[in-house]
Amino acid sequence: MPNKIKIVTIGGGSSYTPELIEGLILRQEQLPIAELWLVDIEDGAEKMEIVGSMAKRMIAAAKLDWQVHLSLDRKEALKDADYVTTQFRVGLLDARLKDEVIPLANGLLGQETNGPGGIFKAFRTVPVILDIIEDMRQLCPNAWLVDFTNPAGMVTEAAIKYGKWEKTVGLCNVPFGHITQACSVLDVEEKDLYFKFAGLNHFHWHRVWDQQGNERTAELIDKIYSPDQQEKSDEGLKNIHQIPFNYDQVKHLGLLPCGYHRYYYLQEPMLAHAIEEFEQYETRAEVVKKTEARLFELYKDVNLNYKPEELSQRGGAHYSDAACDLIASIQNNSGKLMVVSTRNNGAIADLPFDCVVEVTAAITSHGAEPLRWGALPPAARGMIQLMKAMEETVIEAAVSGDYGAALHAFTINPLIPAGDTAIKVLDQLLYAHKDYLPKFASKIAEIEQTKPEIVTFVDQLLADRQAHAHKA
């Protein structure tokens, strides 16, 4: 009989949790689970109770004897854990709203993992992941950390490089959408294709071959991105406005892009669309808030003991399923190929050996073994080196609270114009997120004392969004 395992999910009150539970149930033969702990903070307690009760119903319906525990005490939950999954959002959805509306009010992209919002999500998240690792060091020193808290690449790099937690793997659902898309376009099953991804989280490219060894990448570029095809193509990304890529540009590179590349390849129309949503009080955060409210109303149903279809509309479908796949692959030393964030180790020749990249890797009992990609073409190499330098600088600022490093991260980011606007938006976001940025406390106090216009602008903007939400 294999040893029983304990899985701890931090951010257990997430609306994604039923998907995690479903994924674990589907893999019950591969995962000898004894205990499942859902952990959250006081502000997330109500949601955790709702989703935790549903998790218990799902497990009971599957006739499994797993013990499900709900806790607000992270240390209690972590003791002797084998796997720790993270799906938390520091500051909850209100923080995401600030990440989106403050840049947009200044004419910059407001988005969860890109531009100023992505940088600030990292600022809030990195110190927390490092705190979690300190607890793990004492309470479950042999556990695996499976991160799908965004920005997953930066969080994973911070965990490995600064937290020194080698047993860390980051996950994202975006590659899953692109794999599904390719199978649909070519009308074949996933097992009949071979995929190879390389890049950074939300900034990767990929190639595709068939079972006979024929590369199908160019064919897919034609069938997905040619002008007469783009309207028919679906990447499964609910949170990205799918403005058609420039066919000539994609064809020149010869690699299939990530949906998030639109923010960089099509910066102007993507920004224009985001500003239009902002003006209509329909930013992604505001839409997701409404979706989440509906989901939790569903979850309250005492007869609901399965994942509802509505969850697929949330925008991050398959995150949790991928996490279950990863845990099962580590547990069983399967060698399965998955797209994960892990240490580069030379897989992408153009990036530092010790940085974290998002690549296809074989998943073993000792972790992810990335497949070698080699060098990228110049058009991709320049962009990815800039983005990696930006990520490294963001992590440095998140760990140190250095304002100069934060400003430098803003300056490097292609979606942020350098100069007065960058400083203004940086200061606005620092003030807006002051409760979750203790590393920057002295700088935030200085902004409050010397820049009353920053305080007034943010307070009025957020009050307006709140007032509109109450009216709706």
Q: Which residues are 200's β-sheet partners?
A: 203
What residues have CB less than 8 Å from 264, skipping those under 6 apart?
203, 383, 414, 415
Amino acid at 1: M
* Residues 6 or more apart whose Cβ sits within 8 Å of residue 261: 203, 245
Token digits of residue 32 = 């000898």
- Which of 260, 263, 319, 403 is catalytic? The answer is 260
Q: How many residues in the chain?
A: 472
What torsion do the CA atoms of 21, 158, 126, 289 make, to the nearest 10 degrees?
Answer: -40
Nearest Cα to Cα of residue 119 among 471, 405, 467: 405
Cβ atoms < 10 Å from Cβ of 190: 12
Q: Is 260 a catalytic residue?
A: yes
Would you report the helix, strand and coil content of the chain in percent, each value rounded to 5? 55, 15, 30
Most distant CA atoms of the chain, gap in Å: 67
Distance CA 433, CA 14 (A): 21
Q: Give the catalytic positions in this structure.
A: 260
